[in-house]
Copies of this chain bind each other. A is one copy, B any other.
Amino acid sequence: MENQTIYFKHAPRIVATSTIAGPKECAGVIGRYVETALADDTFGESTYEKAECKMLTHVIGGAIGNAGLSPSDIDMIVSGDLLNQIISASFAAREFPVPFLGVYGACSTMAEALAAAATFVDGGYIRRAVAATGSHFSSAERQYRYPLELGCTRPPQSQWTVTGAGAALVSREGDGVKILSATLGKVVDFGITDVNNMGAAMAPAAADTILTHFRATKEEAGAYDLIVTGDLGALGSRILKDLTWEKGLDISANHVDCGEIVYNVIEDEFQGGSGAGCSAVVLNSYLYSKLMTGSLKRILFVATGALLSTVSSGQGESIPCIAHAVTLER
């Protein structure tokens, strides 16, 4: 398919958002914008998985409340997360009497969920949907890598999974940030097998989706105040800028990466933040605020995901990746 970009005729809008994040995240630049700052990353729960689910439940309810609505006003929850069988999203959805569309796009989930929610709303099938995702450093570490108790050394190309969650309420009516189009990504695999180097694995997928988007829309990079990737980190962002530049698209002047800006990198965060919660928190706090107050007018939000599992890596597979893009405008 040459043209992967879909346009939303009625420009569904994000009328409210909600975010929550852990202490390490809130120490960074986004701290001032996050709605609920956790002093304790267990959120009062007995396990990290339950804490992750509680964060997601909190922001789904928060976005509904911030819009002045109740759960019965919502027609669909579109959500997913990084845990096996997306239990954070499924168990969070259990708390709401609302139809649930479970999605999986690893760290690309925020963009995937927004694109799906916007499609259902724009087509007139439903009035309102909540798109949400999150992640937790400690649940991700023990599922994807090693038990924290083992105290493994982290390599310098690694990133730090964001403890946090974000939700956006997408509505056919109301005042907010418009969703103009979505470019859903293909699965791109450049043969990277280093599971500590997600930025390098995901950068080609981000490049593919961004290049596809600009080919379809015939826009210049300057048409966007920001081209925001999800969690490529510092190394992945450099690779992305090289890959797009090689294809004749210079995004260096207006590219930022949520993973690069989420932390004050002072210890083991190395390349920056990652995880489904990374772009979800930055979009729904910092970026949404800048769009609503007019500091930003138009952004391309490109969340990226690495579609590996411990089993696929253990069986010698490389890391297939994906990136979905959404155009947001105030």
Chain A residues within 8 Å of B, Cβ to Cβ? 1, 4, 6, 47, 49-50, 72-76, 80, 83-87, 90-91, 93-94, 96-106, 112, 116, 119-120, 122-126, 143, 184-187, 189, 307-312, 315, 317, 320, 322
Contact = CB atoms under 8 A, between A and B. Distances in A.
A110 to B, nearest CB: 13
Contacts of A80: 102, 104
A119 B123 contact: yes
8 contacts: A1-B74, A6-B126, A87-B308, A94-B187, A99-B186, A119-B120, A123-B123, A123-B125
A307 to B, nearest CB: 4
Nearest to A90: B307
Contacts of A104: 80, 85-86, 102-104
Nearest to A2: B72
- Select the residue from A1, A308, A310 with max chain B CB neighbours within 10 A: A1
A189 B95 CA distance: 10
A49 B91 contact: no
Contacts of A99: 1, 4, 184-186
Given A94-B189, A101-B184, A309 B120 contact: no
Contact of A1 (B75, B123, B189): B75
Contact of A100 (B85, B119, B124, B186): B186
Nearest to A91: B320
Interface pairs A-B: 10 shortest CB-CB: A123-B123, A90-B307, A99-B184, A85-B309, A6-B125, A94-B187, A102-B104, A84-B84, A104-B104, A93-B187
A103 B102 contact: yes
Integer count of this chain's copies in the complex? 2
A309 B317 CA distance: 23
A52 B109 CA distance: 24
B308 A98 contact: no
A90 B188 CA distance: 10
A193 to B, nearest CB: 14
A76 B184 contact: yes
Nearest to A81: B104
A268 B87 CA distance: 29
B91 A312 contact: yes
A184 B311 contact: no
Contacts of A87: 307-309, 311-312
A47 to B, nearest CB: 6
A75 to B, nearest CB: 5
Nearest to A50: B315
Contacts of A6: 120, 125-126
Contact of A102 (B112, B125, B143, B312): B112
Contacts of A76: 184
Nearest to A95: B187
A167 B245 CA distance: 38
A103 B101 contact: yes
Contacts of A49: 311-312, 315
